[in-house]
């Protein structure tokens, strides 16, 4: 057992997840956007949240860059730090789902094992993985933040897709060709696909 947590005991809750979901009038869900830098994860997550929020749903977006300004500000981009980054995000997402919230998480999350670990944290059917499937060539052409240019010049080490690997999802709930489809089409597809998972029985 972890020495830091050896003497802590889980405290039972008074208000259950099911009660929170009934109050929210929908189920909690983790919508996990994964893909290369520039594949549209953050843009798509924000646009999807906006559409869901407009209909009265309780939502929150966790964005990779934003999280590294606070919760994960102490982490770099080594394989070990990437693993810890996603572990922390997974725990935050689990707490938000327990609150009955629809969580939209936009992270490169390059390793299959890390994404599976997050999936295992929540109940079956509560993790909806979206692969923002965009080729490296198109992502480099976009290069909105100038990161690929810096990575190619050796200014950014351990950059996913250039000097660090990306493991595509083996069987995501949704595979979106974000190199070809526009944002509106992607959002409509996501909203349609998640409806059965968030509706209360």
Q: Which of 39, 42, 109, 164 is catalytic?
A: 109
Q: How many CA atoms lie within 13 A of 189 on its CB side?
A: 18
Catalytic site includes residue 109? yes
Cβ atoms within 10 Å of 52's Cβ, excluding its own: 22
Partner residues linked to 129 by β-bridges: 32
Give the number of other Cβ atoms within 10 Å of residue 125's Cβ.
11
Task: Confirm if 62 and 93 have CB atoms less than 8 A apart.
Answer: yes
Find out whether 193 and 53 touch, Cβ atoms under 8 Å.
no
Tokens of 144: 């909105």
Active site residues: 109
């Amino acid at each position: 057992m972890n020495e830091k947590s050896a003497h802590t005991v889980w405290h039972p809750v008074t208000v259950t997840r099911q009660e929170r979901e009934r109050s929210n009038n929908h189920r909690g869900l983790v919508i996990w956007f994964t893909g290369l830098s520039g594949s549209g994860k953050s843009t798509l997550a924000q646009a999807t949240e906006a559409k869901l929020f407009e209909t009265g749903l309780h939502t929150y977006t966790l964005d990779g860059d934003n999280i590294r300004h606070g919760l994960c500000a102490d982490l770099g981009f080594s394989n070990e730090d990437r693993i810890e980054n996603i572990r922390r995000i997974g725990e935050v997402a689990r707490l938000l789902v327990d609150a009955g919230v629809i969580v939209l998480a936009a992270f490169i999350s390059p390793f299959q094992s890390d994404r599976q670990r997050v999936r295992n944290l929540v109940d079956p059917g509560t993790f909806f993985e979206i692969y923002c499937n965009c080729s490296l060539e198109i992502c480099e052409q976009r290069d909105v933040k100038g990161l690929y240019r810096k990575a190619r010049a050796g200014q950014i080490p351990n950059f996913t897709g250039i000097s660090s690997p990306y493991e595509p999802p083996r069987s995501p709930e949704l595979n979106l060709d974000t190199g070809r489809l526009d944002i509106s089409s992607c959002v409509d597809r996501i909203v349609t696909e998640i409806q059965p998972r968030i509706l209360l029985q």
